[in-house]
Chains A and B, each alone.
Chain A
């Protein structure tokens, strides 16, 4: 009988795991259970459809359903996993007209993802509160957006930034409410995010920083009509709740799997959980940071997919390891791109990590080339050795590539002296004579 790998969850981690399991053992049986109607799409693209930068939701799908059939991956849609028993190696499932049934497995991959942290205020049960996650619901919300005049985004998290920008693009009067003193307050430094906030102001967005959410007020039909905050009541027909991602561990915890200090499942470099023959990947688990080892939960889609590949390969009998993370990140917000890697000034200060800073502003192309935009790079380094420990950037273009490179530079122990003398591409349409990373490193060396 063929070895059977069961995957719970059809997001980036789940589909990555299923594909890798099939690739590692083509004769093996791979079953994916998902409670939803679809798998293998990019939920991260949803804000850009809402903002009309992408024409339709269809383009967010990685593949047609038939492609999974052709690949030999048995996807069970709209099927709920009620629980699993690591000792008996069974999952209990229900759906598609079938009552609860037990299904045996040889290997199990938990890829149940995240839930948004409940706001914890009155009025959470009102209609008109939008949790951006499922593509079918997003399609319904997109039609509703045509009639929305006032919207409030709760928390300027990464998703919150994208949704604020999308709603403003859509011409909706948008307010953002956040307990922090600036956008992305848990991750980003104030000087890096300041241009984003200025561009939001130009787009007509109203920002409420250091502001506490107190509740949602509804009308007689039970639909939200306003958001109560410490900065007053804000009218809204739509509220986008973009709170923290919390690991969806309910099934795993019920089965006795261990969680760590973030609430995510504890895993090792092979994505093995604390239970035999059970692996985990994506937002449901926590991964140690490469600097200091502090576990992190709720990373990006690319992290989830890569972890899924590792978990799936190992679940199918292969041998593949994941690495501690240095978290390159980036996004478009307002009219800017922002990004970074590892630590910023705020996070280094919060951890109490000593650091020196080198910062410089350059340009993205030759100064005479159409479309040239400023690029500000800030580098953080360990004071004695000048080893890079983090970076943050804001600019018109080229932020993602710099973030990826600088994350690897942190991982490999590159110093500001290395960066201060690094070579760079010069080509008028894509790069200026002076690379901003180099000038920022030179500034850091001079401190």
Chain B
């Protein structure tokens, strides 16, 4: 399934990029880069430049449980006592 392939590859490359960023922020050596040229040099920068609302819409369009009915968080109405 293409969505599974996309998720696996995107997750691996975004995670590696994030590990490097967080490592640098914590003053430790970043891990060596991994992944093909496309995922590392094209996908990751394009993903990071894409605004979150757009990313969210793309994720929402992928097949999965999130497209079925799920309740939203509830908020309290009025005083408890």
Chain A residues close to B by CB (< 8 Å): 179-181, 185-186, 189-191, 209-210, 258-264, 266-269, 272, 285-288, 290, 292-295, 321, 323-324, 345-347, 349-354, 411-413
Contact = CB atoms under 8 A, between A and B. Distances in A.
Given A352-B47, A352-B52, A293 B66 contact: yes
Name the residue in A262, A285, A353 with the highest tally of chain B Cβ atoms < 10 Å from its Cβ: A262
A216 B68 CA distance: 43
A290 B22 contact: no
Contacts of B66: 260, 288, 293-295
Given A181-B31, A350-B14, A293 B60 contact: yes
B70 A261 contact: no
18 contacts: A181-B19, A181-B30, A185-B15, A189-B22, A190-B28, A261-B62, A269-B69, A287-B65, A290-B73, A295-B65, A323-B70, A324-B71, A346-B15, A349-B18, A349-B22, A351-B55, A354-B52, A413-B73
A210 B32 contact: yes
B14 to A, nearest CB: 4
B14 A324 contact: no
Nearest to A410: B73
B7 A268 contact: no
B21 interface: yes
Given A268-B65, A345-B22, A347-B18, A210 B31 contact: yes
B59 A292 contact: yes
Interface string B1-38: 10110110001001101110111011010111010000
Contacts of B59: 292-294
Given A292-B59, A294-B59, A352-B47, A261 B19 contact: no
A261 B6 contact: yes
B3 A260 contact: yes
A259 B3 CA distance: 10
Interface string B49-81: 010100110011011111111110101000000
A321 B72 CA distance: 12
The 6 closest A-B pairs by CB, nearest first: A260-B64, A268-B68, A350-B18, A349-B18, A181-B31, A288-B66
Name the residue in B28, B47, B60, B68 with the highest tally of chain A Cβ atoms < 10 Å from its Cβ: B68
Interface of B: 1, 3-4, 6-7, 11, 14-15, 17-19, 21-23, 25-26, 28, 30-32, 34, 47-48, 50, 52, 55-56, 59-60, 62-71, 73, 75
A186 B6 CA distance: 17
A180 B14 CA distance: 13
Question: Interface majority SS on B: helix, strand, loop or mixed?
Answer: helix
A266 B73 contact: no
Nearest to B32: A210
Contacts of A413: 73, 75
A271 to B, nearest CB: 10
A185 B14 contact: no
Contacts of B47: 352
A269 B71 contact: yes
Nearest to B7: A261
Nearest to B62: A261
A351 B70 contact: no
Contacts of A186: 15
Contacts of A293: 56, 59-60, 66, 70
A185 B65 contact: no
B48 A352 contact: yes
Contacts of B14: 350-352
A186 B67 CA distance: 25
Contacts of B30: 181
A347 B22 CA distance: 10
Nearest to B28: A190
Given A190-B26, A266-B68, A185 B63 contact: no
Contacts of B48: 352
Given A191-B26, A290-B73, A293-B59, A349 B65 contact: no
A293 B56 CA distance: 9
Contact of B71 (A287, A321, A345, A349): A321
A272 B25 CA distance: 43
A346 B18 contact: yes
A294 B3 CA distance: 12
A288 B69 CA distance: 10
Contacts of A191: 26
